[in-house]
Structure 1
Amino acid sequence: MDSESHLNVQKGEKENDKLLHQTELSPGGNYGVGDMGEKAPLEAGHSLEGDSLNSSFANRSGSQKTGKEAYLKSLAEEDAPQATCKKKALKVVVTVLFILIVIGSIIIWTVHEGRPKKHIGNKYFDFIPKKRVLDVYNEKDDIVFSGIIRVSDFEVGALKKCYDMEMQNDFCYIFDDGPIFKFRPYDLNPSVHCIDLMWENLKSYSPTDCFNIGHSFWYGIPNFKGGFWPLIPDQISIDSLSYMPFSKEITGHILEKLWISAIGTAVISHENIPISVSFNSGNDKTLCIQMDQKGSPIDPLTSFNYSVCVGPDIQTTWLNVRNAYFPRSPNVDLQKSNLAGILWKYETKNGLPSDTFGNFLHDLNSLGVSIPAVQYNMGWQNGVGDIKFNEQTRKIMMQFLKGKYSSSKLFLPINLACSYMSDNFKRGAGDKLFANDRQTGALKAILYDGESCAVWDTTNPDTRAFLKEAFGILQQAGTQEQTEYPQGFEFRASISNKAFPVDLFENTTDLNAINLHFVDFLATLNKTVLLETAYRMQNRSVFVQVPTLVANKEGRKCLDYVIPASLTAGIHGYPYVMTLAPSEDQVDHELYVRWLQLAVFFPALKVTNAALRFNSVVTEVLREISEYRTSFVYPLLTETIQDVELGYPIIRPMWWVEPTDYKTYTIDDQFLLGNKTLVAPVLCIGARKRDIYLPKGVWKHGGSGAQYPGNQWLRDFPVDLKDMPVFTIEDEYSLQQNDTSTSSN
């Protein structure tokens, strides 16, 4: 058939459709065409000449009845039934195909991430038993966190459903070899949702659960060996980290088990049991968690619980998780704690004749700085555990703290060790006041500073009664020489140093409980407590001391660790942090000045007499720092501490004021003091400029008074040696709105 004939056939078919339409819509529903018998289809040979047909339709009047028109009508009437059958058949086929496509789409959507998440009771968590995969969803129904329950190199068999009688649900699975895995979903508030993951019926084998962390930044693992604010899977790998109060690994000075991502997902192990954690081990982009049976003082542990939470952003998730699982911290009066100003620490590191306590106080007085509190060194007692001044120290205290410096408060270092040579050892051993080895029942011996020592068991009421008596003698209670000092103690409870080696904590009564009871005991004496290491002590009025390390970065010495570690302490619920100065043999006068400019903003500031051994630049800055803390920092701290009862940290990360500002997630060399003050210290020797990021708001530079809009970087901002880059918020409205939202959450 030529193309012209084909076009004519199409035109003829269109006319047939018109006629068919008219017939089907005729009144009375009489489908006359459909009543006709079967007719032969229109063959190609029946096609009409196009010109003749077009001419006929163009020239005839509306009333004319041409023979060709009648013929065309007859053909349409003959062919219409066949066309109708084809059309109906096609409609049926298309409808069936459409239904099949819809059903298939629903099945595919259900099987994959769009499936109804009803396995664990709400829409934020889903468990796929066949693959042992737990998926965590956000409000937008996106998977934001995913993990495999019980990662194993061998076949663990199929999971069987079980019923949890305690929780009255069937979110329960049994493995072939016995372990039971259960879920408990719940809401911390309308925007933060959690699920407890509970292992039971464990035997010698502890299952490992691994979660994908490759799609976000993470916070919460202090690490001496590399950057950890944030933890970036591509940049750091930690094969195994033991979280227990008797760990060989150095995990930093805060041992809480909370890890949170920049997008608002959190993992928390809130039980007081040892666990082992890996982060990106072998570059596998996973966070793996398991119970550590080797570290358990009770063998074996048969159950292990932890939780996963999800919220709209990191701040909202963190605040709700922190307040749900950690006790609230009290509001501390810095003035009553004798830490509003500088705590001056006396050391005898070099053993020089001029390094006397009297000369130290005299030099400070000559410098013109206030001396609200001083800390003596470890030589105040003859032997570890004596808990009384030796004769030389007693004379020094009487000479200086009873005279010219009588308004100064005294802090002393102390720990739980008691030397075998101490006068108190015989009574402690006879009355069973020391910690025992769990297996042998004998007292646990340690080596401290070259001496064999026992450890006071403060969980024993008799031990606490003895210590109360000893501290009364220390203060010469009931005599004419009775004193109020010491007003504070530096409690050296560090668990990873020479004082308390790991073998002490193995097969020993609960040393963390001993530490807790000792802190509580000191609190009953109205003493301020400084700590080196903290675990589950958020609701105590303790100041956690964070060290300042020195690292080589791009060929320059830089202050390191202190800001990330302090921010991590805040993440773990410890608002009262103070930083210890780097060793004087690691820094020169310039880096020491930079440390002072950083440390002055912390809730407490301790400066050793090493500061006086640098040049005049340091002493001049020291005088300025002392005045600056009194006039500016202390009032600011007093205001910020009011937020502590809400769970807020004092030293806050840069994402605090705008938790969805991704540019703040990797900033580890700036911090906020409350919401209104931004501190961007210089950390490297020789640096006279730095990049500074300002979050939302309008910020005023403390030195020049210049104002800068937020959400921008200030590149190469000039910072002289005596400059402290400090900015205060000018436009508080947006921050107040954010605080209101956070408080309601």
Structure 2
Amino acid sequence: MLSTKKKDSGSNLIEEENDESEKEVEKENESKEENETPTANGENQADVDNEGITIVVPTLGSINAGGDAKNKDTNGDIKATKESPKSAKPRKKREYKLKAFVGILFVFIVIAVILIYHFYHEQQYLIEIGRKIRFQEDTRVLHIDRINVNEDNVRDDILLGNLGLNIPYHSLPSKCSLEEDKTTELCLKWKYYARLEIKYEVLGGNKCYNISWEGLNPLHEPKDCFNLDSGHWYGMGELDPQMWPLEKKHIKLSPFLSGRNRLGDRFGQVLERYLLQSQGAVLVVDYDVPLHVSLNQNNDSKLCLHGRFQDSPFPEINRTRTDTNFLRYRICVGHNARKVQEFALQSLLPTPRSNNNYNILKPMIDNPVWTMTHRGELKQDKVLDFARKIKENDFHSSYLEISDHWQAVHGDLIFDTSKFPNISMLSGQLKTMGFKLALWIHPFVNVESKAFVEGVFKNYWVRGPNNQVSGLTLSHDDEVAAVLDPTNGDATAWFQQKLGDLAQTYGIDSFTFGGKGLLPASPTFENPLSDIDYYTKLYADMVAALNMPVQLEAASRSQHLPIVIKMFGRQTNWGYNFGLKSVIPTALALSVLGYSFVIPGIIGGNADLNTMDKELYIRWMEVAAFMPVMEFSVAPWELDPETVIIAKDMINKHKTVVVPRIQSYLFDLNCSQICPPIIQPLWWIAPDDDTAQTIDSEFLVGETLLVAPILEKSKKTRDIYFPKGIWRDEIQRNSITGPKWMKNYLVELNQIAYFTMVS
């Protein structure tokens, strides 16, 4: 049965049933359907008869789209409804709103799915490796936290690293398998750029992270940076100017090589790839890495490590692949700076066997070294006269060192007879007076020497490019010279034999070796070196084998040797540029690297008598008295009687206060295998003391003697910081309980403030 809707004056639809006219209506509808076509948008097509009756017939499109059950009877037949044409527009508005709502809902669902996936994935990532390695793949931030996590499992970052800075941030990594425990190893690969491996391990109770980058194309240069403001930093070695802590210094990106490397000498002669952070972390870079370093470049508070062969002095023989750069280093975290430093001295740095070395160096430590450096023209009678005046002024006779101009030609190791007509007699006279004779030697061999000709035929010298001829360079005196190749076993045996013959023939008791010198351009060695500074290590190994006290101005990985490190090129000024203020920071930096025995330069710096500043000379002497070795060139009696009195007092303090403290520190602590260096920063006994971590004008001898010298011109007072403990004032004989500052402490010109810890 067909239903119809009639439109009244109130626009109400009236439903009528007309059984008698059913057939007539059906015929009329059939005739109209033949003339109807579906609308373009698939909506119902409607006809209006002459009486205002609207017949609504759903099209196939509307049936398929809507599927409204109300338009079907129980038999599935389509019902016709009466509908006003005015209701079409509101219906379309409702459809638009519905479509907009569905669109917004779709966008919301997509965003929700993405967020849920991201956080679920990140949580899974942290669960998988976050307990050991906390690395964010998207930002490439490495989090290094303390050795202990607190009870709430809240992590406290002590170091943040931004890794892979030369990889575009839009480049996403893929995981690479190491086939190991996924909680201790991470491997990621950025296609066309680099591969990163981070391995976690526990060593001696310390958390260690081994980080390795390998370039995947010849142009990619791995670069990682760490925040300096997370703590205070120490290490590296000799710098100019010398700053403590390191974050005070600015270094542009430079090859990390010791001085005299043709590249501006940003670094000194003693250099190690080792850094210590005050919160309890150490960073050690592998020595075969073509390392470039920047520190606070553009005031960015960053320490950056950069692995690059291109346009650098690093030899390319140590590439893991011949066409790529790489960067490898280790970070270890301990309970505090002292704990992790003790671990590093035992496991990460060459082991310093301090008391074994002390037995060899003791004669040089007990009494001052007297050197002829900066004393004008060097001649035999002047050496003898100097020795006599030392005795006449009632100073100790110990080592008397003849500077490097004793040779006729550099490299021959033969005395210049015009200066030393009878060196055997001079040696005998000096020994009768109680002196030991020392000679200064540089690593250069003049091209005019007989030794140079011999070495050319026997390939004893470092060769130049393409390994063809002996490489030439300039000596410290600007002479054209060659340099011994310590990778050549025959060359080292020849050199050691010549030194041994010299010592035996003339009674030489010690040698002082100048810096490594300026190597030839593009040097080639008998056996390839993994890094240029390995030359310095081999040279130190060679001369330390002489089994006598030796001084060295250059060192690398030489902490275990019986050597004294001589601070390079101290100058006559009060400042940090190789002047008096640089002495304590340099001694502390060398201590962090593991070097125990140091000479704080010639007392007063490199000036001769005519330009020497008396006040500076005395204050420098007071600092030197509390270092392991003292060294004079300008003699105290050459200034005035007051200086002589002060010098004798300082030498006596060195002998009666410092030397016994060194002995007790080395032997009472049973340091036969491992022992921390003698000179230490204040934080060594108070590793969590923020103030102690920044003091660069005080130092400790052992652990119980605090030294606070005057380092300012025309000053007789200074502020002194005391870490925890009870300290006995050795000038005023009272006690101070730390931690505390003492302001305006009076120190006369003939005094040095030092304090003994009593508890």
Same fold (TM over 0.5): yes
2:656 matched residue in structure 1: 631
Describe how 1:38-187 pairs up with structure 2 within 5 A: 117-120=126-129, 123-138=131-146, 139-140=148-149, 141-152=155-166, 154-155=168-169, 157-165=171-179, 171-187=186-202
Q: Is the 8 A contact 2:549 2:562 kept in 1?
A: yes
Shift of 1:277: 1.1
For the 8 Å contact 2:291–2:327, the answer to whether it is kept is no
SS of corresponding position for 1:135: strand
After TM superposition, the structure 1 = structure 2 runs for residues 252-267 of structure 1, keeping only pairs within 5 Å, are 252-267=268-283
Show the counterpart of 1:503: 521
Q: Which amino acid aligns with 2:518?
A: F
Which SS does the other structure have where 1:580 is aligned? coil
Shift of 1:399: 3.2
Is 1:663 matched up with 2:691? yes
| Structure-1 separation of matches of 2:501 and 2:233 | 50
Cα distance between partner residues in 2 of 1:575 and 1:256: 15
Structure 2: how far apart are the matches of 1:590 and 1:348?
A: 19
Give SS of 1:662's match.
Answer: coil
Quote the residue 2:284 is aligned against: 268
Number of aligned pairs? 613
For residues 167 and 575 of structure 1, what CA distance do their matches in structure 2 show?
41
Report what 1:295 is aligned to.
313
Tell me the equivalent position of 1:571. Answer: 592
1:196 and 2:218 matched: no
Name the aligned partner's letter for residue 285 of structure 2. Answer: S
Q: Percent identity?
A: 23
Paired amino acid for 2:437? L
CA distance in 2 between partners of 1:194 and 1:452 (Å): 48
Task: Identify the residue that residue 493 of structure 1 maps to in structure 2.
Answer: 515
Cα distance in 1 between the residues matched to 2:596 and 2:127: 39
Aligned to 2:245, what secondary structure does the other structure show? coil
| 1:9-68 CA distance string (max 9 Å, x none) | xxxxxxxxxxxxxxxxxxxxxxxxxxxxxxxxxxxxxxxxxxxxxxxxxxxxxxxxxxxx
Q: CA deviation at 1:635?
A: 1.3
Q: TM (normalized to structure 2)?
A: 0.75
2:296 to 266, 275, 280: 280
Q: How does 1:446-485 map to 2 (within 5 A)?
A: 446-448=473-475, 449-475=477-503, 477=504, 482-483=505-506, 485=507
In structure 1, the partner of 2:757 is 729
Matched, 1:421 2:448: yes
TM-score w.r.t. the length of structure 1 is 0.76
Q: Give secondary structure in 2 for the equivalent of 1:151.
A: coil
Deviates more, 1:106-115 or 1:431-440: 106-115
The whole-number CA distance in structure 1 between the counterparts of 2:273 and 2:192 is 29
Residues 220 and 698 of structure 1, relative CA distance in 2, 3 Å threshold: same
CA pair 295-333 structure 1, distance change in 2 beyond 3 A: closer
CA distance in 1, matches of 2:180, 2:257: 29
Q: Provide the rounded CA distance (Å) in 2 between the counterparts of 1:347 and 1:193.
A: 49
AA in 2 matched with 1:185: Y
Secondary structure at 1:390 match in 2:
coil
Name the CA distance, whole Å, in 2 between partners of 1:686 and 1:388.
46
Correspondent of 1:616 among 621, 641, 655: 641
More divergent stretch after superposition (653-662 vs 642-651): 642-651
The structural deviation recorded for 1:197 is 0.4
Per-residue deviation, 1:378: 1.1
1:513 CA displacement: 4.0
Q: Secondary structure of the equivalent of 2:706?
A: strand
- On the 8 A contact 1:260/1:314 being kept in 2, the answer is yes
SS in 1 for 2:661: helix
DSSP-derived class of the 1:255 partner: strand
Is 1:592 the counterpart of 2:617 in the alignment?
A: yes
Shift of 1:113: 11
SS of 1:398 mapped into structure 2: helix
8 Å Cα contact 1:412-1:490 kept in structure 2: yes
| SS of structure 1 residue aligned to 2:731 | coil
CA distance in 1, matches of 2:120, 2:419: 76
Query: Matches of 1:716 and 1:396 in 2, distance apart?
Result: 56
Q: 2:342 — aligned with what?
A: 319
The answer for the alignment partner of 1:607 in structure 2 is 632
Q: Deviations over 1:620-657 (max 9, x none)?
A: 22222222222222111112234554341210001010
Distance 1:521 1:557 in 2: 28
Counterpart residue type for residue 598 of structure 2: V
Q: Does the CA-based 8 Å contact 1:433-1:457 persist in structure 2?
A: yes
What letter is aligned with 1:420? Answer: V
For the 8 Å contact 2:461–2:485, the answer to whether it is kept is yes
Native 8 Å contact 1:388 1:470 kept in 2: no
1:263-313 Cα deviation digits (max 9, x unpaired): 122222132333111112222222110113123211683433101222221
Paired residues of 1:329 and 1:541 also in contact (CA < 8 A): no
Structure 2 residue identity aligned to 1:729:
M
Partner in structure 2 of residue 51 of structure 1:
none
Answer with 679-688 or 243-252: which moved more. Answer: 243-252
What RMSD, in angstroms, separates the aligned Cα atoms of the two structures?
Answer: 3.2
Q: Is the 8 A contact 2:255 2:292 kept in 1?
A: yes
- TM superposition shift of 1:210: 1.3
Asked if the contact 2:160–2:227 (Cα under 8 Å) also holds between the matched residues in 1, the reply is: yes
1:709: Cα distance to partner? 1.2
Residue in structure 2 matching 1:542, options 540, 551, 563: 563
From 673, 697, 710, give the equivalent of 2:738: 710
Is contact 1:270-1:325 (8 Å) kept? no
Shift of 1:214: 2.1
Residue of structure 1 in register with 2:37 after alignment: none
Distance in structure 1 (CA, Å) of the matches to 2:731 and 2:267? 38
Give 2:417's aligned residue.
391
CA shift for structure 1 position 604: 1.7
Q: Which runs of 5+ in 2 are unaligned?
A: 1-111, 150-154
Does 1:344 pair with 2:382? no
